[in-house]
Amino acid sequence: MPDDVPLAGTEGRLSRTPDEWLRWQPVWDAYFVLVSAAGLGGVLLTGGVDPVRRAGAAGLLVLLVAAHLLLGRRLIRFDRGTRRALLYQLGVVLVFAAAVGLVTSSAFMLFALCAPAFMTVGPVAGGLIVLVLNLVWLGVAAAGETFLGSGSLLGVAGVTGAALSIVLGVWVSQIIRQSTGRASLIRELEATRAELGRLSYEAGRAAEREQFADAIHDTLAQGLSSTIMLLQATGSALATDTERARRYLELAETTTRDNLADARALITTRPLPEATSASLADALRREVDRLRDVHGVNASLRVDGAPDPADTALNVDLLRLAQEALSNVRKHADASRVEVVLSVDADCVWLEVRDDGRGFATDATPPGHGLPLMRRRLSQAGGVLQVDSTPGEGTSIRIRVPA
């Protein structure tokens, strides 16, 4: 994932955050300017040197400061370790060599130039650049005038400068390495968080679609299926039994109105009408009566206690499960008798739907929406579904839900 692509929820804040060590760059810049000012003062105050050479060396030191502030800082932040950074450091070596060639005391600038060398081109190339810088001023000083007028001081200054350069370079390289590692880890964590966010969003959308599909199946699809069958029954009864046909039409109208109420409830996310009805037993009785009156199935309901009416979620779940079971009986069982039993014990609610239909082999049933939906709903409610069926001997669906 590109670092400049904002991440969901974070707007790329961490991606655009510089490495931690770069937070200290203003301090390094201040240090660079202060050391350069001291070196420039030393050059201007050096005695026994031609004024033209002093002015030339001072100008070269000012050029090094300007180059760092205008170009070096940008390379450290955005182009560290690139070819441009290496060319820049080679230019720094040439300018520094020229300044030391004019006035040996310009070598004081080494204290300012070592750290940026490591920051710009990394530990390996930076170490070589620093070594060359030290060799340049030592070579120029040894070949020409003695730095500070003393050979011993020249040696001490050379060893001290080299030692400080190595220590400073190792320290800076270690800071950069640790900071770069942390920055890489942060970017990996950002990418992982973005991927987790995407997967969570997709899973949420899938769950929402599944929930909406279940709701439509429980309400609109069931109702429309019942309405179609009622209208078909009405057409068959019109010629022979107008009273029965009228009854079918009344049931179709009632079913359609219930469906419309369900649709409006889904749209406005209000509780479904069954959730606010008098009791689960009444709702089950309506379903059993409809199965008996419309489809001619000898359907009965036995109630041995009912769950708490205030537990809306449980009552709606049990009603939906019963509707799905009765719908499967109507569509597939070809049963003549159906019994629905609702009972409550100390800690569980039991719902059983038994029919004397054609049955099926439970281990060879093709996948469909009905039973998987029942199992999914029961899983969410912490319940258990048991299906007992044998071809030619009917089916028993037994549901247990914690009260």
Residue 296 · residue 325 · CB < 8 Å = no
What gap in Å lies between CA 386 and CA 338, rounded to an integer?
17
* Better-scored residue on pLDDT, 299 or 136: 299
Task: Give the pLDDT confidence score for residue 153 in this predicted structure.
Answer: 55
Q: Is 262 exposed, middle or buried (0-12, 13-18, 19+ CB in 10 A)?
A: buried
Q: Give residue-wise pLDDT tens across range 75-123.
A: 988 888 889 999 999 999 999 999 988 888 888 888 888 888 888 887 7
* Residue (of 223, 220, 218, 226) closest to 317 by Cα position: 218
Q: Specify which residues 339 forms β-bridges with.
A: 300, 354
* Token code pair at residue 309: 């009416």
Digit-coded pLDDT (tens) for 238-276? 888 888 888 888 888 877 887 777 777 666 655 555 544
Stretch 350-377: mean pLDDT: 78
Q: DSSP label at 347?
A: S
Q: Which of 277-296 are b and which e, b meaning 16 or more Cβ less than 10 Å from the residue's Cβ?
A: eeebbebbebbbebbebbbe
Enter the pTM of the model: 0.44
Compute the C-alpha angle 43/46/47, nearest 5°. Answer: 155
- And the tokens for 164? 């400080």
